[in-house]
A and B are shown apart, each in its own frame.
Chain A
Amino acid sequence: MITAVRNYLVFLRRCARIAFVGDWRYYTWIGVLFAVCLIGLNAYAKQFAHGLVVTGMSDEVSWGVYIANFTFLVGVAAAAVMMVIPVYIYDNEELHDLVIFGELLAVAAILMCLAFVTVDLGRPDRFWHLIPGIGQFNFPASMLSWDVIVLNGYLVLNVHICGYLLYCRYRGRKPSKWFYIPFVFIAIVWAISIHTVTAFLYVGLGGRPFWNSAIVGPRFLASAFTAGPALIILAMQVVRRVTAAAPESSSALHNGEHSEEHHFSSRPATSEDLAILARHLPELASVPLQVRESILEGAVVLEAEAGDVFLRQGETDNRAFFILAGRVVVKREESGRFRVTRSVGPGEQFGETSALAGTPRAASAMAEEQATVLRLPADSVRKLMKTPRLDKVIRARMSERLMITDRGLMVLRSIVQVSMLINVFLLLNEVFKEFYTRTSHVASAQYLFLGLHGHHALVPWIWTAIAFNLTAMFLLVLPLSRSLKWLNVTCVLCILGIWIEKGMGLVIPGFIPTPLGAMVEYSPSLNETLVCLGIWAFGLLCYTLFLRMSVPILQGRLSKANEPTTKPRQPSAILHAVTAR
């Protein structure tokens, strides 16, 4: 128990340390975000002291950009579930690592949501009145009390799932299904619930006909599943870019296409070598002696210098590798750049997936430092894997790699595609109902789309949003958006379009005209805008730090295996271990 806690604390400490290690670009990015956070905090301190009078809100339009951003971000958080379903239910390999990034995005989004509702409170010092058991919690009557439960619950669920999976990866253990699969299923239902509940905040108000419409809930979900994955598509490419080395630095992977293995000194393997392997891979001992001896046939030990290439992406052969000493780095070429997908050390394997499946190598592997490697034919690996304990370890490690494939992004694209079509369809439904019947309830919609009684502050916004959404929809339907460049343009259009449509386009017109028919417009004040920017910077900062911690874990660069044994290493050494390519 005590060692478990200690291990976990070591894990947390190492994660925390790594979050503050990086090159100058990383520090600049973090520094800029931190500065914007402080500007936002300063603006909020003014609001805290003088009240919400420093915002553009009034008794007529009593919710503004805070709640608009909140609503948008709940959608982003809910959309993480769209990654979860294909991976855990349909076992989609391509999206495996995207799930963790998606859930981390959900965590960051929920933190921003909580910040946005907090800054919207007139008396944030009385937040404790909301805590069930201590305060007075109006559950289940108030939809806001539901929102408190679902948002915080969703935060806990996602922190648990990401934290557990990352910790298992760090420890090199296979995650126990009991510890996360039930939570994954709860999280799927929960994700739908956070967004439905947020929609019901509006839908439940009979005095506001613009919101009091059953279609708001489905529209919220459709727009969330458009904007959320679109945001993840962009974020993943940033991660891929940042973790990738420039093409020229990996010239070894390009040169000498036909000179393979010539640098290696190789010799037939002996039982001595298997003993060395067993020291790092204790499960090997459970393999019957007879089998162990039989695999020595065809087994070769390679001595490699740093930079020597063991296998190349795209080639096909049926040999797998186990490391006896040193480290090997696995790199994958994606869109012309090489990215570390995995870093493996003694006792670990590489090249086994393609060897066993007989498929082309998905990535190239090269020695990171002087390394001794045992090479086995696929048949020998199969023999070893007949022993259940070893089979389990090898299989667990097979899924340990950081993959952000174009195919994975294309799966996300199809989610965005379908959701955008549904979103536009639902919008049309709403527009038809409002403008065809033309009851007195059309006033808000009329103000939004056409302007009312000479007031039309939102008209240019909503038409921009519609133009963006429609353009994005056409791009998504066309094969053009299969190219990443166009897909990125499309994603930006989706995100902006939905941010306007759902934020300013849904929250503000609900208040205009007032229930007594008065026309009072709203535009956010400078102070209010700064607070919003601060919260967005805070969310980006959180997400950056989360990625900074999780990427090395997924790559295998930060793991139990390379934990400093005696004294903690110098930060610079950790830096080297993390950023070395």
Chain B
Amino acid sequence: MDRRSFLRTSAVLTSGLAALAASLSPLFEMQDFPTAEKFLQKYYKEMTPDDMAKVVKRIENEVERQYGMRPHVRDLKPMDGVEFVYCLNLTRCIGCRKCVHACVKENNQSRNPEIQYIRVLKMPHGSMDMEKGEHNYAPESVPEKGFFYMPVQCQQCKNPPCVKVCPVHATWQETDGITVIDYDWCIGCRYCEAACPYWARRFNFTKPEIPKDKLNPEMAYLGNRPRRQGVMEKCHFCIQRTRAGKYPACLEVCPVGARKFGNILDPNSEVSYILRTKRVFIQLKEELGTSPRFFYYFDV
């Protein structure tokens, strides 16, 4: 190779590489570049208790660093002989959306951009056609005459389409009926979001933002621990509460007692009683064969 062509080739190469480096410069704006430890973290079901203890510790440290508050992260397991079921009384619901905001608070959902697990539809009297529902109603006061209100959240299906389509098993159904997500395993393909017939899943399109003083420190690994950018999340029946013997936050806040929650395997539970005695209850989109564990009923 002669001198001139050498110089020319190296000039082309150098400028090409410089342009390449320049085009990649936005990567410096990245806040949480995955560390080797996070990158190689194991799948939830493959972690030993030791692995889990280490990961939990790391998460606690991270949260403390970021929010200035030491959280209490637990890996709560499903209880034997428990299958959770939710019942919602459509006659009572007044559409106040208190459940929506209690859920956001309890589950450390991003405030900016806003992520909410519960969507309340304002439905015209007499119709269950959700296309007629209004999502963004904002009257002076609720309820309004001629309408009923239908809150929709993850229906915790027995045949969950989201679990079937996930290419990496990042979401699965636990023995107590809750479909959970390993936030550290999800690749963010959003196939589950397309598959869900109830529009129950939410994606972190960017890094979630929670004000420091609004963080709920009582956390579960598969539940309300802070999520990262680029992963899915959804209602998990407040796993950090319900697996510790408490009611979900949406139920506790409901001012009219429209929400009932309990163990369907226990014949004496409230939900067993409702499903046994009500003449009509509704599983949304029953025809899809998803078999939700979320039942809508009426005071008749």
A267 within 8 A of B: no
Q: Which partner residue on chain A sits nearest B197 by CB separation?
A: A207
CA distance A63 to B195 in the complex (A): 12
B252-293 near A? 1/0 per residue, CB < 8 Å:
000000000000000000000000000000000100111000
- In chain B, residues 180-196, which have Cβ atoms closer than 8 Å to a Cβ of chain A? 185-191, 193-196
Check: A251 CB closer than 8 A to any chain B CB.
no
Q: Is the CB of A207 within 8 A of B288?
A: yes
Q: A127 near B205 (CB under 8 angstroms)?
A: no
Given the complex, which residues of B lie within 8 Å of A136, measured CB to CB?
43, 168-170, 185
B24 within 8 A of A: yes
Contact A516/B26 with A51-B229, A122-B229, A205-B194 known, Cβ cut-off 8 Å: no
**Which A residues lie within 8 Å of B16 (CB)?**
34
A58 at the interface (CB under 8 A from B): yes
Q: Which A residues are CB-close (under 8 A) to B121?
A: 516-517
Docked Cα-Cα span, A513 to B121, in Å, equals 14
Q: Are B164's CB and A62's CB within 8 A?
A: no
**Residues of chain B lying within 8 A (CB to CB) of residue A440:** 129, 131
Q: Tell me the bound Cα distance from A123 to B186 in angstroms.
A: 7
The answer to the question of B48 belonging to the interface, with a C-beta cut-off of 8 Å to chain A, is: no
| A117 surroundings in chain B (CB, below 8 A) | 189
- B189 CB contacts on chain A under 8 angstroms: 117, 120-122, 144
A145–B1 alpha-carbon span in the complex (Å): 49
A82 at the interface (CB under 8 A from B): no
Contacts of A510 in B (CB 8 A): 194
Which A residues lie within 8 Å of B185 (CB)? 126, 129, 136
A57 lies within 8 A of chain B by Cβ: yes
Contact A129 B170 (CB under 8 A): yes
A517 to B20, CA, bound (A): 45
**Residues of chain B within 8 A of A561, CB atoms compared:** none
A48 touches B27 (CB 8 A): yes
Other-chain contact of B191, A34, A142, A516 (Cβ < 8 Å): A142
CB distance from B294 to the nearest CB of A (A): 14
Q: Is A141 interfacial (CB 8 A cutoff)?
A: yes
Q: For residue A257, which residues in chain B have a CB less than 8 angstroms away from its CB?
A: none
Let me know if B197 and A515 touch, CB within 8 A. yes
Q: Is B53 an interface residue (CB 8 A)?
A: no
CB within 8 Å for A514 and B199 given contacts A46-B26, A122-B188, A130-B187: yes
For the complex, is B231 an interface residue (Cβ under 8 Å from A)?
A: yes
Q: Are A49 and B29 neighbours in the complex by a CB distance under 8 Å?
A: yes
Write out the residue numbers on chain A whose beta carbons fall within 8 Å of the beta carbon of B206.
Answer: 50-53
**Distance, CA A50 to CA B204, complexed state (A):** 11
Q: Which residues of A contact B198 (CB under 8 A)?
A: 207, 515-516
B62 to chain A, nearest CB (A): 17
On whether the beta carbons of A511 and B168 are closer than 8 Å, the reply is: no
Q: In chain B, what residue has the closest Cβ to A204?
A: B165
Known: A38-B23, A45-B27. A516 touches B199 (CB 8 A): yes
- B30 near A49: Cβ-Cβ < 8 Å: yes
Chain B residue with the shortest CB-CB distance to A60: B199
Q: A residues 55-84 with Cβ under 8 Å of B?
A: 55, 57-60, 62-63
A39 located at the interface, meaning its Cβ lies under 8 Å from any Cβ of chain B in the complex: yes
Instruction: Say if the beta carbon of B81 comes within 8 Å of chain A.
Output: no
* Complex CA–CA separation, A50 to B289 (angstroms): 38
> Which B151-174 residues have C-beta < 8 A from chain A?
152, 161, 164-170
Chain A 105-136 interface 0/1 with B at a Cβ cutoff of 8 Å (1 = within): 00000000000010011111111011000011
Which residues does chain B contribute within 8 Å of A300, judged by CB atoms?
none
| Other-chain contact of B24, A41, A60, A123, A127 (Cβ < 8 Å) | A41
Q: A residues near B, CB below 8 A? A: 34-35, 38-39, 41-42, 45-46, 48-53, 55, 57-60, 62-63, 117, 120-127, 129-130, 135-138, 141-145, 148, 201, 204-208, 440, 443, 510-511, 513-518, 570-572
Which 8 pairs between the two chains have the least Cβ-Cβ distance?
Answer: A122-B188, A207-B197, A122-B230, A53-B206, A51-B206, A517-B131, A144-B167, A42-B23
Q: A42-B25, A122-B229, A123-B187 are in contact. List 4 more A-B contacts (CB 8 A).
A: A45-B23, A49-B28, A51-B206, A126-B188
Q: List 16 A-B contacts (CB under 8 A).
A: A41-B24, A59-B201, A125-B39, A129-B168, A141-B165, A142-B166, A144-B189, A145-B167, A207-B288, A510-B194, A511-B194, A516-B130, A516-B133, A517-B131, A517-B132, A571-B5
On B, residues with C-beta under 8 Å from A are: 1, 5, 16, 19-20, 22-30, 34, 39, 43, 113, 119, 121, 129-133, 135, 152, 161, 164-170, 185-191, 193-199, 201-207, 229-232, 285, 288-290
